[in-house]
Amino acid sequence: MNVLDSVWSNWTERDVPDLTGRVAVVTGGNGGLGLATVDALASAGAHVVVAARDQVKTADALAEVRDRHPSASLEVVPLDLANLSSVRTAAERIRGEHDRLDLLVNNAGLMALPERRTADGFEMQFGVNHLGHWALTALLMEPLLAADAARVVTVSSIAHHQGRQVDPSDPHLRRGYSPWKAYGQSKLANLHFGVGLQRRFEAAGVRASSLIAHPGLSNTDLQRRTVREGGGGSSAPLWETLAARTGMSPTVGARPQLRAATDPGAHGGQFYGPRFGSFGPPVVLPILRRWDLDSGIRVLWEVSERETGIPLVVG
């Protein structure tokens, strides 16, 4: 990818190459950015495993995809990222059906919710946005490495700039919780995970790659759920209004993660997002959080393995 392409790209979902024969897993693929991702991958010929918690919502969403693409190849696997038992069951089912996976899009997420815990006692946002995806990725490593050149795409947020790296002594923020602090921590963890995973792929000499994406300001249910559940403080309604009035549609907002997942010119370790921060075409962005990158990755690996009891082994 040349410099001009990175700056002026008008890449859209129509640029997704033929994916016939490829197998993709998308978490949270029953709404918002996830559903837009599923739709684009299925329309390009991929077999898409939709891993999501709400099965009624999933059935309705996939019916819409099939209406648009009658030949879509879709599969549903129940997944609750707030419960490691569910993650294990989902991963076992996926492994049982597919001996190789070409693409894993770690898309599902929560934003700025009131303090609550997962089934395993984790802070909910760190548990769902990072630890659940850590566990799923680790448990799917065998079929990912069995593919010719698998990609793992982890969806972060522009809010990672406000995040603090995980404190090993208090990863679940028991000593000072705030909804936006927890969200920022989880989204910075997504960035550290994506970069750290690429480093491990490279060290192991495998052909798999890890990329990161963020959607900018997109008009999905993410902001509305924050308001519905009383999170985010006084700024939450403002963000909901901004997303509704100025945010990109889910189709447009999903383009960075789609490009990271499918563009033949994309490379491991790259970070895709809207050209103009909150909006614009999907391009490669610089990773600006360099001052704490190495320590953040090291600590995240230690905490993630300790908390989940699931090591992430490459090779």
Other CB atoms within 10 Å distance of the CB of residue 166 = 24
Residue 302's nearest CA partner among 149, 174, 192 is: 192
13, with CB counted inside 10 A (0-12, 13-18, 19+), is buried
The reply to whether 177 belongs to the active site is no
- Which of 126, 180, 183, 271 does the annotation list as catalytic? 183
Q: What is the 3-state secondary structure (H, E, C) of the chain?
A: CCHHHHHHCCCCHHHCCCCCCCEEEEECCCCHHHHHHHHHHHHCCCEEEEEECCHHHHHHHHHHHHHHCCCCEEEEEECCCCCHHHHHHHHHHHHHHCCCCCEEEECCCCCCCCCCECCCCCEHHHHHHHHHHHHHHHHCHHHHHHCCCCEEEEECCHHHHHCCCCCCCCCCCCCCCCHHHHHHHHHHHHHHHHHHHHHHHHHHCCCCEEEEECCCCECCHHHHHHHHCCCCHHHHHHHHHHHHHHCECHHHHCHHHHHHHHCCCCCCCCEEEECCCCCCCEEEECCCCCCCHHHHHHHHHHHHHHHHCCCCCCC
Residue 123's nearest CA partner among 188, 182, 181 is: 182
Residue positions annotated with a catalytic role: 183
